[in-house]
A and B are shown apart, each in its own frame.
Chain A
Amino acid sequence: TMANAGNINAVRETMDVLLEISRLLNTGLDMESLSICVRLCEQGINPEALSSVIKELRKASEGLKVRINKYCLL
């Protein structure tokens, strides 16, 4: 489906638009994670589930960083 260059460019444009939307909504996603989200959605992952996973992962990694910082201070 993505053989022709026109389509690829169109998709790339879509992604650019999407990145702008993402920035406007202040989601904190960069291009790479945005691409992954799109792929996951297209593979049928529930958006609400996906967003909750991302939020949890962010929280968890914050916790991890805090712990590492504490460890370093100790």
Chain B
Amino acid sequence: MTHWTKLERDLEEDIKRLIQCVSGVQDEEDANFQMAMKFAWSNFRFHQFLDVNGHKVQRTINGVHEKLLVHSDLVKAESWKRLTEAFLNAPLPNTEGTKTEMHYSILAVLLFLSDSPSNTNFTERPRLKEAEKKDDFDWGKYLMEGEEIDMGPYPDTPEWSEEESEEGDSQQPLSREDSGIQVDRTPLDDQDQSKKTVQSMWKVGEPEARAWLGQHVVTQYWAAKAPRFSHSLHLHSNLVNVWDQHLYNTDPLYTPDEKICVTETQVIRETLWLMSGVKKLFIFQVLDGKITVRNDVVVTHLTSNCLRSVLEHIAAYGQAVFRLQKFIDEVTGYSTEPLPPGSSSTAKRGSEPPFRTYQAFVWALYKYFITFKEELTNIERCIVIKDESVTLTAVLDRLAPHLAQIKVLHKVFCTGVAEVPPDTANVVRASHLLNTLYKAIIEYDSLGEASEQAVSLLFSLWVETVRPYLEIVDEWIVHGNLFDPAKEFIIQRNKDVPVNHRDFWYATYTLYSVSETVENEEKLSDTASGSSASDQAAAASKQHTMVSFLKPVLKQIIMAGKSMQLLKNLERNDSSPQKNSARDAERKSLYALFLESVQSRLRFGEESPADTVTEQQATKQSLIKMQSIVARHLEIDEVHDPLLAINFARLYLEQNDFHEKFSGGDVIVDRSSESVTCQTFELTLRSCLYPHIEKRYFQCCGNLMQTLKKDYRLVEYLQAMRNYFLLEAGDTMYDFYTAIFNKVLEKESWQQLSFLNVQLQEAVGQRYPEDSTRLSIFLEAVDPAKKKLPVNNLDGLTLSYKVPWPVDIVISSECQKIYNQVFLLLLQIKWAKYSLDTLRFHELNFATKKSEGVLFDQEAAKEPIKQQIHRMCLLRVKLMHFVNSLHNYIMTRILHSTGLEFQHQVEEAKDLDQLIKIHYRYLSTIHDRCLLREKVSFVKEAIMKVLNLVLMFSGRWQAGFGAWKIESIDKMESDFKNCHMFLVTILNKAVCRGSFPHLESLALSLMAGFEQC
């Protein structure tokens, strides 16, 4: 079975080669190639041709002979006859015997393929002689088979090398006759060619000149048919020929390809050029943006397979360099080639603002490539100087760390840049790139010392790439100006909302978060207010999102930025720009601060791993480090004395603050100190970046708070809201609401805007003249179905206070709505209280007398009336107790104490967002505690019932006896009792559960009233 499959495989291989030879399609993946394979297979397997018949073929051979004779092509005919005879009697590679069916088969193929043989010019070429000549060469002797000779330290015999380097005349015969290899390898006409070129070389000039040229001018190996350069003929440096000879000897059908011989130095040079980004090379070729290795290049001392595998390894790195270089060119706009249609960045570049994150990334890459190219140049210099032998392996060894770094760079580039679909928004591109770098650093960092180099490279890359972001942040939180023309920052300004609009705080910025867990980038844009943005950030933190390194301080950045913008707008009128710009010049940018901190941290960080090592080693390490630093500083003064440096180092080591003293000035991260590890990268960020942002955040927001409180009287406005809406300005508001209540009592219409506003202005204007213009009252249309009960008479009364910008960011109209709800409740309670308080005993008595007169005859009724008066009085007191308890509870327990807490929190508030939150929380608290929440509406209904009862009661009291039926007293008593009992039960339950501790006082006082009954 295996035998069969081997045959099959051989067959397959041969068919492939046949297709390559005949059709010229080389790529096996090519669709055409595949089709040809299928075609060939099916034809070979399923054909309808007869098997070969030897006689028939012989007849055809004779026929051809006759035909040639007829055409009087006697020479040809003679050759034909002789050749076919010879062939039929000659052995075949895998077939025993002569004149076999195979012989006829092969001849049949040729005959089928023959194309009018009589018309072609044919002269038989001499060949037997040639073959005999080849056989003469005694390889065994040449290779010194069986002989053991001590070659000495220099395996190249001096004789050879002398002749080779010395004289040109000896070269030609030497390479032709003594080196059998060369003769064998070169086809006849090609040899003629080389002969010609060699002869032309003769004309170059004197032998010395030629020798000089041979040494100093590189052979044009890249030109077709270039002359072969001469090289040592020693066995070791002729491996490729030896191997070829071996193949030739073992396989009669082996046909050597035409190869181009180069030297190893040339290969090294091309390698170095490839690495430095040269595109037009000979050994490496760029095909469709892919770097391939030419397959007809050989060096004499390696087999072509071996060389090829090494070169392909190099080409892979060349590919990475090429790709990175292309990206650099694209971004810098330096690209000379037309770009593929996929990346249309050139077309865009003209009109669009520069994408700074990519530019920074490219700048970092470029910086890296400068050092890489320096190294390449050094190697090239070594080759030129010829002090040491430079081999390909040595070069690869020397480049190994760089190659590893390029691999890392390419990997990061691929995931961070190349894989992003072409029409992605800049913000997504930027954050994806930063995230990729960030993740890569953390990934490599966790590998520990094994990837120190990669981490330090990536870190420097990241530090550079992050620069635009930090500059945007800096500009925003220092000048309040979100300058981001390329829209690459994760926060974008909505242009259509002006700063001095009350929606500014909520609707100005859009936060983009990039979800990475979802296959590709997804944009979760949201018109986010400061608060909701941070909420969103918190929610999104579960899925790895947006620019991860900014996430911990994102809220602060947003706050600081918005505060700063607001602040700038507030200050625009009154502060002088000169002062600001002067201050700005002294200020260090956020990025500079960040770099400084990173530097100082890394410098200290260097020592931290030493803690685990013994102390002695630690001091030794730092001593060495010191020494290098000191030596560098000494060199500045042109002093080269290592001993002096060591002693200085010892001296300085005793001073702990040496580092700051010596290297505090420069800001650029020292890339040469590769030993720097940024262990625990996130810790580095935490200590180097976040504090600066936080500091700025505290400054900005503190400033804004200060300005709002001081210059814009925020606290006073909050107080005013409490004064009027929550009736804290008791006397003022008393004047206002009693005027209304009196009108109601007198049964006059009070629902006129002019009347209400006059009353309000009068009341407020006396004590707070500045507020009287801001305050006004409206009557809102209320559903008439709700107005049936007397307690709902006041519904629709709405207070409005015009809050100026920017305080209206805090006290919004939504807030005023809540204030108004509380205001209405308070008015209702006040009204109930007022109507009970203003009742007079004599009114009731007077009414009684009147009724006595009417009911004079009914003596029996006298006694119950007195009793009824007593009952009325009792009920009044009970109602008063209830209303007063409620009033006390709301006014003192709730409004006053909550208000005190609120004032305290306002003092503490760090930023505007927090302040807004505090205000909202305050409002919702009083809203809750005034039982205005939907959930506890049944309690409020019971209270409203009682208040309604109070109003009815006072109405009846004033109307006097007789105006209503006696039974209604019973009704009122029982209604009140029911409501009272219900409330006591409910409140007690709530208090027992402990969920509403503030209700306790109300519950207790109501209970006390209840037990009296």
Contact = CB atoms under 8 A, between A and B. Distances in A.
Interface of A: 1-2, 5, 7-18, 20-33, 35-43, 45-58, 60-61, 64
A12 B7 CA distance: 23
7 contacts: A9-B135, A11-B252, A14-B92, A16-B127, A48-B50, A53-B18, A58-B23
A51 B110 CA distance: 8
B124 interface: yes
A33 B22 contact: yes
Interface string B78-107: 011001101100111111100000100111
A11 B117 CA distance: 25
Report whether over half of chain A's contact residues are helix, strand or loop; otherwise say mixed: helix
Contacts of A29: 110, 113
A29 B253 CA distance: 14
Contact of A60 (B7, B36, B83): B36
Given A14-B92, A26-B116, A8 B249 contact: yes
Contacts of B10: 39, 43
Contacts of A36: 14, 17-18, 21
Contact of B21 (A32, A46, A51, A53): A32
Nearest to B132: A9
A25 B128 CA distance: 20
B253 A27 contact: no
Contacts of A32: 17, 21, 255
Contacts of A43: 7, 10-11, 14
Contacts of B64: 25
A49 B109 CA distance: 9
B17 to A, nearest CB: 5
Which 3 pairs, one residue from A and one from B, show the smallest C-beta to C-beta distance?
A51-B112, A25-B114, A14-B90
Nearest to A38: B106
Nearest to B119: A26
A11 B92 contact: yes
Given A15-B252, A24-B117, 11 more contacts: A8-B250, A12-B131, A13-B128, A16-B128, A24-B79, A25-B64, A38-B93, A45-B44, A47-B109, A56-B43, A57-B39
Contact of B92 (A42, A56, A57): A42
A42 B253 CA distance: 13
Contacts of B215: none
Nearest to B109: A47
A26 B109 CA distance: 12
Contacts of A57: 18-19, 22-23, 36, 39-40
Interface of B: 7, 10-11, 14-15, 17-19, 21-25, 32, 36, 39-40, 43-44, 47, 49-52, 64, 76, 79-80, 83-84, 86-87, 90-96, 102, 105-117, 119-120, 122, 124-125, 127-128, 131, 135, 249-253, 255
A68 B49 CA distance: 34
Contact of A11 (B11, B91, B102): B91
Nearest to A64: B32
A53 B22 CA distance: 10
A21 B65 CA distance: 12
A46 B11 CA distance: 13
B122 A24 contact: yes
Report whether over half of chain B's contact residues are helix, strand or loop; otherwise say mixed: helix
Contact of A27 (B7, B11, B52, B110): B110
Contacts of A15: 252-253
Contact of B113 (A1, A9, A20, A54): A54
A14 B95 contact: no
A35 B17 CA distance: 10
B87 A33 contact: no
A9 B131 contact: yes
Nearest to B252: A11
A9 B124 CA distance: 20
Given A20-B127, A25-B111, A32-B255, A46 B120 contact: no
Contacts of B80: 21, 24
Given A1-B94, A43-B7, A55 B113 contact: yes
Nearest to B16: A36
A11 B108 CA distance: 19
Nearest to A8: B252
Interface centre among B51, B96, B113 (most CB of A within 10 A): B113
A52 B713 CA distance: 101
Given A11-B252, A40-B14, A64-B32, A49 B90 contact: no
A21 B83 contact: yes
Contacts of B23: 57-58, 60-61, 64
Given A10-B90, A36-B17, A46 B113 contact: no
Contacts of A5: 249
A18 B249 contact: no
A66 to B, nearest CB: 13
Contacts of B36: 57, 60
B252 A25 contact: no
B113 A24 contact: no
Contact of A39 (B14, B19, B39, B84): B14
B6 to A, nearest CB: 11
B127 A2 contact: no
Contacts of B84: 21
Contact of A21 (B40, B87, B253): B87
Nearest to B127: A16
Contact of A17 (B15, B40, B87, B250): B87
A26 B83 CA distance: 14
Contacts of A55: 113
B83 A24 contact: yes
A18 to B, nearest CB: 6
B22 A48 contact: no
Nearest to A23: B122
A61 B112 contact: no
B44 A46 contact: yes
A50 B109 CA distance: 7
Contacts of A37: 18, 106, 109
B137 to A, nearest CB: 12
B40 A53 contact: yes
A49 B11 CA distance: 15
A25 B109 contact: no
Contacts of A12: 131, 252
Given A11-B93, A51-B112, A2 B32 contact: no
A21 to B, nearest CB: 5
Contacts of B120: 24, 26
Contacts of B22: 33, 54, 57-58, 61
A20 B125 CA distance: 8
A39 B86 CA distance: 19
B24 A61 contact: yes
A26 B113 CA distance: 8
